[in-house]
A and B are shown apart, each in its own frame.
Chain A
Amino acid sequence: MTHATNIIETEGLTKRFGDRVVVSGLDLRVPRGTAFGFLGHNGAGKTTLMRMLLGLTAPSAGWMWIDGHRLPAERAVALARVGAIVEEPHFHSHLTGRENLRIVAAVRGAEAQTRIEPALARVGLSERAGERVKTYSQGMRQRLGVARCLLIDPQLLMLDEPMNGLDPAGILEFRGMVRELVAEGRTVFLSSHLLDEIEKTCDAAAIIDQGRLIAQGPLEALLASETADVEIGCRPPDRAFELLRRHPAVASTSAIPGGVRIRLSRRDGVASINAELVGAGIAVFRLEAVHETLEQRFLQITTRIGGQP
């Protein structure tokens, strides 16, 4: 993997506040053109990483690149096509939505001025753009924050906990917007502790725990279980339980309502198990591989490392 395939790369990135290490030796790779979830408990170091990438705080050690540009040396060019919302979008509340965009567009450059109206239209705020931001709801502020990111036709959007405070309709809308942005070839890097949302929105993810990177990669790879569990719906379940307990392809068994859950010792053993159950006169009406959710995987990994659920 190189700068050509990764839009964000870090090596040994570390941030200390006094004796406390908040981010420790982080080697992160964010592939281009993906929705990338950055997962971690509250206080795991997610926001600190984003703040370092955006030049809001200096790292204590390590290296980082955005779009192949070394930070902080090439900060201006690296961030020229990066839109970001850190923690929550902030605005001058006495100004209107449109005026707030004018403030940032002035800093971004002449071309950004021409993108104000399209950006407002894109996030559905054209009609309310003339109202003061202090009258906006949380969802509208979030959308205005995204509009601010779109002033520069961003290659990369970095969104910190973007679903916080949104109602279910707002979350759905936001998810759709992220997918649209990715479909346009942009990379959306979003940090969250809402695992379900990351699973529904992202293509790849990284998991950080106590400042250390625990896992990263495509979601399918992160979710791929080291073991294969299968739930079998059958009748009578107690007979099936006894039979499967002694089966060579089964590592462990547990009873579930209306059936048995098994852990396979061989992934190719399902067909023989099914045949054996049917041969023994047991009615099998469901064979279902058990997939771990990101939440289960996250808790499994972070618990293993951190020792805390």
Chain B
Amino acid sequence: MLSDPLRKRVRHGLACLALVLAWPLQAAGPAGNVLRIGNGAEPQTLDPHKTETVDGSRIVRDLCEGLTNVSPTGQTVPGAAERWQISPDGLEYIFFLRPQARWSNGDPVVAEDFVAGLRRAADPKTGSSYAQMLEPLLNGPEVVTGKKPPEALGVEAVDDHTLLLRLRGPTPYLLGMLSHTTTFPIHRPSFARHGDQFARPGHMVCNGAYMLDQWVVQSHVRLKRNRYYWNNANTHIDTVVFYSTEDVNSELKAYRAGDLDWATGYPAVLTPWIRQNLKGELKMGPYLGISYFGYNVTRPPFKDNLKLRQALSLAIDRDVIVDKVLYTLSIPAYGWIPPGTEGVVPQTPPEAKWTQAQRLALARKLYAEAGYSQDNPAEVEIRYNTSENNKRMAVVVAAMWKQWLGVKSTLANEEWKVFLNTRKLKKKTEVFRSAWIGDYNDATTFLDIMHSTHGQNDTGWGNPRYDALLAMAAAETDAGRRRAMLEEAERILLSELPYIPLTFYVSKNLVKPWVKQWQDNILDYHYSRDMRIEGY
């Protein structure tokens, strides 16, 4: 028998416990006007000039705003600038900033903020991996490489609300590029106070629809509405939470449990299941990306061996790859520039329209002409960075080569950073896995990386005419002539084939039916401020 005061205490304790138990159960209910995103890997930084991952940039685009934005359907629309004028020669852009644009602390957004942002991004001391993107600006290459001071960059504040950009050559994709985080402005007083730590909770002052509320590394980044945003009246969602979801299996489970409204990733193997069970929630669309195998053309067997390069490419049945290896999450690729890219009509070689039997016939013919046969098979190494998907791809490709041509392939895998080094050195590689995602919607974002001097060109391939065409296109004001030059460049690349096109990417997202106005677009840009939550 318990004494009376003790009994009272026990009863008190139990009541408290019940309260504590009940409270989070309520808190776990409907989230209200909140968008919860499964965002993939941890963002690493929210500094607009340093972010380089797809996942990190998604957050930064909600926080900060450039001169232009991308509409839900993928068009370039006015952002912090309400309108602009372009000089007839295409070398000067004057932007008129919105007078009502404000930073999240109420300060007006002025032209000097953009000048400071662009100079910082171009300054090699900042260490922005996207600095090269600013090369179209006057003195861009010199500033980016430290040969001229950042002040020499072709950007100038005419007055508080007028910004002038001077270019080296007409750059038809400039307006689209200005929605990229690298071109975003910076709040000068908070940068002066906090230096490189300005993009942290409590420090960050931004000009987008949302402001940074909380960042728990490896867990989530939470944003809340920026009341000073010029279009706050038309922004619907109050809070956006970006969860870091490195494990796609867990991400899908959280989505199915109703803990996420939008999942940016899921295990590809489950695509058929998702199609059947989550009807209408899987959003797929064309995306600016290509997956390819590069040839190292500086070493045998691919050096000066076009026929072998062509034969191996033709012997791959891309429909099988798309269907069986990638669960239809891709489009077969025969060219270099993904469909939907602006600036060119992507070129397709004739074999794109052939049957696989026709391709194989030509592949066998070229293989024999290159001097190989059943008794004297080509020996090829496929090297990739360790991952289940890459392995599947390499195994399937090797099997196709073996079956149709008798090629003896060996597979080699390396951990990611080791692989990057090996690929760059070009000493060991023969066939290597690679992929590229466009930074902006223009053909040059793909063509540039095959330039003979580009740091991304790990094939060792170079063609003077190709390089010259890119240079000429950069200076060309006539859109038609520019298009013709870029298309010719792509045709050269396809005719010399220093790589095997495999597939073009598609964007894939899982979106709950209550998230309205979420639309596919080729950049896979989705601003939270354009969406709303209805009928949760």
Q: Is the A/B pair a real complex?
A: no
Question: Chain B: residues with CB nearer than 8 A to chain A?
Answer: none
